[in-house]
Amino acid sequence: MTQKLSGKILVTGGAGMIGSNLVKRLINEGNSVKVVDNLWRGKLDYLYEDGKPIIDFEKDFFNRDLSIAGNCDDLLDDIEIVYHLADIVAGINYVFSNQGSLFRQNNLINSNVITSVRNFGKNVKGFIYVGTACSFPLTRQNSLDVIPLKEEELYPALPESAYGWSKLMGQYETDLLEKETGILCSVLMLHNVYGSPCDYGERSQVIPALIRKAINFPNEEFIVWGSGEQGRAFIHVNDVVNALCLTKQKGLGKGVIQIGPSVCTSIKEIAETVVEISGKNIKVEYDTTKPEGDKARSADYSKAQRVLGWEPLVDLRSGLEQQYNWINKRIQSEGSSL
């Protein structure tokens, strides 16, 4: 049965790329939204539209570190839906250089938020946890012969990274929350999300990093980490927000749902497309001494199609052009202000 829940919503990590776009959509749909974010990667200016704030920062924004227990206890009194997006994640260099601290921080964040909902969410009817395709077993992502992943392949568990493990632990605790409290939950396992607004600095993920390098070329070398043969199922943030909103209506209590395209795109193809968009004469260089992460993956999104009526809509080329233009505008603005 379709759930038609609206009203008071809490979004953790609501000043990040996905979170800020979700908050804008929820507010435009008439919901009242509170945002909690420690601004490690998120930015307050992401919560503006046409130069105006989309939320009341004095009343509805909370700069808090959710790895500290109890830091959202007081935010849940009148909340009906919780979207839990907050986590520690960055580009592959950061993830593999900080595995222990990342694993610990994400476990603390997830467990603290879920404990707060369990103990203080007296009006919470739905809890939506944002997971990751990185939690799928390495054995299903270590070949370039890609067979789309299915939700039932999560176990036996063998994620490649501490990040994947930490997100899987949060997923498991979300399952316990539903079983023990009756709060309807959903887990959306996202594939590689791109779009704007985004971090394009040293901690950025692959697409914004390549776009930054192309914009700055020749002052910054255009080097791709790894062979370029490694691939991902790239999904635009607008498609992710569609899935998150549909989940509130149709997905609660329906378990794990994978969000991503069935197509695996190589990093080589992404790099070459970014060079085309730049219009520059750039020779792509590959550094095979750098980590690549999982070899390749894509999504069998048939459950999302069946349960949510969801499918990816944003064409990869147009999504890359949009993100390139957004980052270019920001970099040019930064340069002119120096």
User: How many Å separate Cα 3 from the centre of its chain?
Assistant: 24
User: How many Å separate Cα 337 from the centre of its chain?
Assistant: 30
On the question of pLDDT at 20 being above 60, the answer is yes
d(CA 159, CA 141): 9
Q: Read off the pLDDT of each residue in 249-258 and give the average, rounded to a whole number.
A: 97
d(CA 57, CA 150): 40
Backbone φ and ψ for 190, nearest 5 degrees, come out as -85, 140
Backbone φ and ψ for 248, nearest 5 degrees, come out as -60, -35
On the question of pLDDT at 82 being above 50, the answer is yes
Which is more confident, 163 or 2? Answer: 163
Q: Give 134-187 pLDDT, tens digit per residue.
A: 999 999 988 888 899 999 999 999 999 999 999 999 999 999 999 999 999 999
**Ranges 83-87, 301-305, 332-336: which has the least confidence:** 332-336
CA 121 → CA 30, 165, 181, distances in Å?
22, 26, 10
pTM confidence score: 0.94
Contact in structure between 52 and 43 (CB atoms under 8 Å)? no
Backbone φ and ψ for 93, nearest 5 degrees, come out as -60, -45
Q: Could you identify the residue written with the tokens 């493990």?
A: 165
Residue type, 6: S
On the question of pLDDT at 45 being above 70, the answer is yes
Share of the chain above pLDDT 90, in %: 88
Of 167, 38, 160, 19, which is closest to residue 92 (Cα–Cα)? 160
With left for phi above 0 and alpha for psi between -120 and 50, is residue 304 left, alpha or beta? alpha
d(CA 179, CA 306): 23
Domain 8-195+234-260+297-314 CATH assignment equals 3.40.120.10: no
d(CA 235, CA 271): 16
On the question of pLDDT at 90 being above 90, the answer is no
Triad 128, 155, 181: Cα angle to 5°: 35
d(CA 97, CA 88): 13
d(CA 251, CA 248): 6
Residues 6 or more apart whose Cβ sits within 8 Å of residue 221? 213, 285
d(CA 104, CA 1): 37
